[in-house]
């Protein structure tokens, strides 16, 4: 499946790099080998992970990562939602403006037609009244 890459959405390693706690002493010796094997293409240092048996550190890391991912996704969702609302409102307002313009034009046309017809009728009545007086 071919998916477009959106540079504004961070990858997990970027989030972990900013959020990872300092490595435990046992993890420091294994970190260089693991970092070399999984180094990202942009040569950013891989974040150090807590020791495997440090459940509390893993929970804290998971909590911080979850909060950070949720915050970044929320910001992105807000932006996309705002754009979609703007686009939809623009389309709805254009449609409403067009319908309102047509309705006003038709109403004005009918009103002017009635005014002209009434004025013509009154003028004919006035001319007929003048012609009967002359006789």
Q: Is the pLDDT of residue 99 over 90?
A: yes
DSSP H helices, the chain, are: 12-19, 25-38, 55-134
pLDDT at 38: 44
DSSP H helices, 41-54, are: none
Virtual torsion, Cα 54, 68, 11, 37, nearest 10 deg: -20
Contact 21, 50 (CB under 8 A): yes
pTM: 0.39
Task: Break the chain into its structural domains and give their ranges.
Answer: 12-134
pLDDT digits (tens, 9 = 90+) for 20-77: 555 554 444 444 444 444 444 445 455 577 777 788 888 888 899 999 999 888 888 8
Q: Token digits for 21?
A: 């706690």
Q: Give the C-alpha separation, 108 to 106, whole Å.
A: 5
Q: Token digits for 93?
A: 């307002």
């Amino acid at each position: 499946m071919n998916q477009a890459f959106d540079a504004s959405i961070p990858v997990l390693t970027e989030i972990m790099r900013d959020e990872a706690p300092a490595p435990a002493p046992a993890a420091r010796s294994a970190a260089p080998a693991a970092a070399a094997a999984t180094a990202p293409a942009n040569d950013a240092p891989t974040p150090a992970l807590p020791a495997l048996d440090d459940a509390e550190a893993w929970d804290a890391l998971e909590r911080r990562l979850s909060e950070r991912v949720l915050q970044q996704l929320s910001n992105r969702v807000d932006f996309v939602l705002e754009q979609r609302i703007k686009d939809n409102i623009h389309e709805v307002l254009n449609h409403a403006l067009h319908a309102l313009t047509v309705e006003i034009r038709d109403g004005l046309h009918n009103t002017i037609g009635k005014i002209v017809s009434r004025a013509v009728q009154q003028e004919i009545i006035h001319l007929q009244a003048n012609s009967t007086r002359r006789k």
